[in-house]
């Protein structure tokens, strides 16, 4: 029977405090079967003495390696958060573009806009860069069409 700490341990709290580490303990039983336990290893036990697991972890893996693992994890996490943020922004931008496209399609199915002969105004509506601009041009076209309608009694 044996036990060893895997070398991917990292500081659970602050890298400068080093009061606790998260580590995987690999235990090999008498039939050579291996099991892994993920543990949070506190530096100090409840009675105020140094935790022997903590001492063993530092002896086997080394403080410098745990520092490096902690720093690598921090960088990875920062990168992951950045990528997720970028992805959210891309999806949002795509949604905005698609919504704008659908607003324009709908606008051009409104009879007054569809039948308007003013190509320049219709082109402005097609080229609108956001929904507000599109709605404004749609309104202008409709007002112009209403002005051109023969007055009703």
Partner 1 sequence: MNQKPNDGFLIVASKTKSFYISAKFLAESIKDYMPDAKVCLVVDEDLIDDHNHMFDHMIFTERQDDYRAKLWGMSKSPFDRTLYLDADMECCHEDVEGVFELLGDHDMMFTEIKDIQRPIFKTSVFPAGKFTYNGGVCLYNSSRSRVIDFMYRWWELYCLQKNDLWWPTDPDTGKWAEKRYGDRHDMKWWDQFTLWYLLNEDPQWNDMSVGIIPEGERYNEYSLFWANMRNEKGAVFRHYSRGLSKDNPAMYTINGQ
Contact set with partner 1 (CB under 8 A): 86, 89-90, 93-94, 97-99, 101-102, 104-106, 108-111, 114-115, 122-123, 126-127
Measured from the CB of residue 114, what is the shortest distance to partner 1 in angstroms? 5
Measured from the CB of residue 101, what is the shortest distance to partner 1 in angstroms? 5
- Identify which of residues 23 and 116 has a Cβ nearer to partner 1 in the complex: 116
Measured from the CB of residue 13, what is the shortest distance to partner 1 in angstroms? 37
Measured from the CB of residue 130, what is the shortest distance to partner 1 in angstroms? 14
The whole-angstrom separation of Cα 141 and Cα 59 is 78
- Identify which of residues 26 and 98 has a Cβ nearer to partner 1 in the complex: 98
Count CB neighbours of 27 within 10 A: 13
Element (H, E) at 75: helix 63-107
Spell out where the chain has E strands: 2-5, 10-11, 20-28, 34-42
Alpha-carbon distances, residue 135 vs 76, 101, 109, 126, 149 (angstroms) = 44, 12, 14, 11, 21
């Amino acid at each position: 029977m044996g036990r060893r700490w895997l070398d991917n341990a990292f500081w659970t709290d602050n890298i400068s405090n080093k009061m606790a580490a998260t580590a995987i303990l690999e235990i090999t039983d008498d039939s050579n079967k291996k099991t892994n336990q993920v543990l949070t290893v506190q530096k100090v036990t409840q009675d105020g003495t140094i935790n022997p697991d903590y001492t063993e972890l530092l002896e086997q893996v080394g403080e410098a390696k745990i520092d490096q693992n902690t720093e690598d994890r921090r960088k990875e996490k920062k990168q992951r958060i950045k990528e997720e943020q970028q992805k959210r922004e891309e999806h949002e931008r795509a949604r905005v573009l698609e919504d704008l496209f659908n607003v324009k399609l709908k606008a051009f199915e409104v009879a007054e806009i569809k039948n308007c002969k003013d190509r320049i105004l219709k082109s402005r509506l097609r080229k609108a860069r956001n929904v507000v601009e599109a709605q404004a041009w749609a309104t202008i076209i409709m007002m112009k069409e209403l002005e051109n309608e023969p007055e009703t009694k």
